[in-house]
Chain A
């Protein structure tokens, strides 16, 4: 690995050129360097994006949030404004690895590594987050769920990289949450994960909801039946029962040492319920 070339461009244009010439994007390197060293990726020049203008930091714009693609996850948890607006997104990012990993791991790396178990991705999709993708053709804005196309695969073209992650403005009585199940209390990969974003009306009735599951299919999956289960209803056992069933329907998991197909499917339903219940309670407090 020590024979690899390393390049840290300062501008988007230089980064696009270097990536177009066959470079590998690196943000925190917590997936990339592990894979290169294990020989799971063929060696190639590394393009470190951390110095590229716009890839660092968290800022608010027109009521929404812009997170530089390479910003370490720890900074999300330390940002009081972001924690208040998007607690679920911050929970997802905050579960990535140890204290050491938190200081390096980024949202863009978590997303573009394209692991089905990536912890920040279900919450980002539930939040209707978008990516600003920079590339040879300029910039385009794409929903987060359009980036990952399969295990280890993305829709990014040659020379393209994620520059920013954007979160929309929050209406009143809106909140999100993310939960995962792992075999231990720390330092493990999700058996299943669930992100939920919910908007209530003044009477406490669900107006809008999105629930997204991780680690139960090749990519994160949106629970298509969540709206039918919850919109127009108050939070009660019957609503959560409908959501649980709707969540289990979209699961297409694998069996491995962390869990069987049956276990993952059941636990995904349970996590979906609990994530919705937490998001709901948070939303009520914002009335």
Chain B
């Protein structure tokens, strides 16, 4: 099968790559672009470990085909830390020990950032519903939720300061 040539913007940088037409965007990110932060937990849209942003929308990259990325702006976990400094969400995940094995963490961080970017002051219930598509087999979610709420508070303070 002929491969297709795809041009997109990934974490701010223009990229070009070749991919099989029926390849998922998740596989293209991992195998063609070497961005292995997004994980495949299920391959069926259930676990959210593959979460990325496409044109500022949170999606499962396992349910998108690589050619669909043509011309799009993609953000992955690799773009979250800026200038060597962790994003407040990343710091709070460490502080609150919101991970054990870490397999769900990239997806949870991308999804949580998407929430805080559009709603800086979510309630705990809103946060739990927003993150319902991100499964974690280790933490029991409580620490994840505390980390997100704490990061949200810090970001609000930084904003008003």
Question: Taking beta carbons and an 8 Å cutoff, which residues of A are in contact with B?
Answer: 1-6, 8, 28-30, 33-34, 37-38, 46, 48, 50, 72, 74, 97-101, 103-104, 185-187
Q: Are B130 and A97 in contact (CB under 8 A)?
A: no
Let me know if B75 is at the binding interface, CB within 8 A. Answer: no
Known pairs A2-B27, A33-B65, A97-B133; list 15 more (Cβ under 8 Å).
A5-B21, A6-B65, A8-B68, A33-B62, A37-B44, A74-B57, A99-B130, A99-B131, A99-B132, A100-B60, A101-B60, A104-B59, A104-B60, A104-B64, A186-B129
Check B67–A8 contact: CB distance below 8 A.
yes
- How big is chain B's contact interface, by range? 20 to 34
Q: Which residues of chain B have C-beta atoms less than 8 A from A186's C-beta?
A: 129, 132
Least Cβ–Cβ distance between B63 and chain A, in angstroms: 5
Residues of A near B4 (CB, < 8 A) are: 6
Question: Measuring CB to CB, which residues of chain B are less than 8 angstroms from any residue of chain A?
Answer: 1, 4, 20-24, 27, 43-46, 48, 51, 57-60, 62-65, 67-68, 111, 114-115, 129-134
Q: Check if A5 sits within 8 Å of B114, measured CB to CB.
A: no
Which of B43, B45, B134 gathers the greatest number of chain A CB atoms within 10 Å?
A: B45
In the bound complex, how far is the Cα of B53 from the Cα of A99, in angstroms?
12
CB pair A99 B68 closer than 8 Å: no
Residues of chain B contacted by A48 (CB below 8 angstroms): 65, 68
In the complex, are the beta carbons of A6 and B57 less than 8 A apart?
Answer: no
Interface centre among A34, A50, A98, by most B CB within 10 Å? Answer: A98
Distance of A252 Cα from B37 Cα, bound (Å): 47
Query: In the assembled complex, which residues on chain A have CB atoms less than 8 Å from the CB atom of B114?
Result: 99
Q: Which chain A residues border B45 with CB–CB below 8 Å?
A: 30, 34, 97-98, 100-101
> Is the beta-carbon distance between A6 and B22 smaller than 8 angstroms?
yes
Pick the contact of B46 from A2, A74, A187 — CB < 8 Å?
A: A187
Question: How far apart are the CA atoms of A98 and B60 in the complex, in Å?
Answer: 10
Chain A residues closer than 8 Å to B58, beta-carbon distance: 99-100, 103
Q: How far is the CB of B73 from chain A (nearest CB, A)?
A: 14
Question: How far does the Cβ of B43 sit from chain A's closest Cβ, in whole Å?
Answer: 6
28 contacts between A and B (CB under 8 A): A1-B24, A2-B1, A2-B21, A2-B22, A2-B23, A4-B21, A5-B21, A5-B22, A6-B67, A8-B67, A29-B65, A33-B62, A34-B45, A38-B44, A46-B22, A98-B48, A98-B134, A99-B58, A99-B111, A99-B114, A100-B51, A101-B60, A103-B57, A103-B59, A104-B64, A185-B132, A186-B129, A187-B133
